[in-house]
Amino acid sequence: GAMGEGVPAYPHYVWRTERESRNTGVEVTSPLGCADPDPRRALRCLRALPVKKLLEVPNIMNVFQAFAFGNEVLPELPEKALKQGAFPRIPLMSGATLDEHRLFVGMAHDAVGSPFTADQYTRALVTAFGRDADTVGARYPVTAFPSPALAWSTVVTDRMWARGTYAQATAFGRHAPTYAYEFADRDAPMYLPLPGTFDFGAYHAGDTPYLFEDPDAQKHFTEAQTRLSDTMTDYWAQFAHTGTPNR
């Protein structure tokens, strides 16, 4: 069996053609003096540079998050392969967290003293959804949430993470046994070193201490959370052993 997030079902965000990825590499390495047709030499050049020099390139921490397809490892766009059933027919267990995107909004805004505002929310809707911004805004009115940050977090969680996970499970489930879950403990202890206060809810990677030993986080578990952790690890171990989380 396999355990996975909804990433393969995302249509565009995390995927680039191999040519696009190579072009991005040239754009990043050229101003650093490391552009080279031999990727091994380019890599050696980059590794020899101080971190401060690397960080002078705008968005260098983000531009390589996308995966390249159209090669031996990923012959075609994974979303297309899923829809066509062009993948190994093995059991899949896939899930997401209820408030996946709160972590990213929080650590960029409210948790670091720069609250996400209602005006920013309106602009973000227009940037993300264009002519459909008003429709999305009516579905997710900022007044329905404790803060604009939580409103925007919910929009992105639903549009990107939840939708991708659901699409993956649906496509995969047409061809192989598929099990889906959602981690929804909004009181999960925050184990990441983030300053300030923010309602992270059931945040990105908040389920990790429940599945893998993390004494620093687990010492904050309530009795109910300890039982939840035991249940989750039992499901995962059962799936790894038999291909189904159920006994």
* Confidence (pLDDT) at 102: 97
User: Is there a contact between 185 and 202 (Cβ–Cβ < 8 Å)?
Assistant: yes
* Confidence (pLDDT) at 100: 96
* 98, 142, 150, 110 alpha-carbon torsion, rounded to 10°: 170
pTM of the model: 0.84
Amino acid at 166: Y
Binned average pLDDT, 10 residues per bin, the chain of 247 residues: 58 80 90 92 95 87 84 89 90 95 95 96 98 98 98 96 91 94 95 85 95 90 97 96 93
User: Is there a contact between 185 and 97 (Cβ–Cβ < 8 Å)?
Assistant: no
Neighbours of 8 (CB within 10 A): 22
DSSP state of 5: -
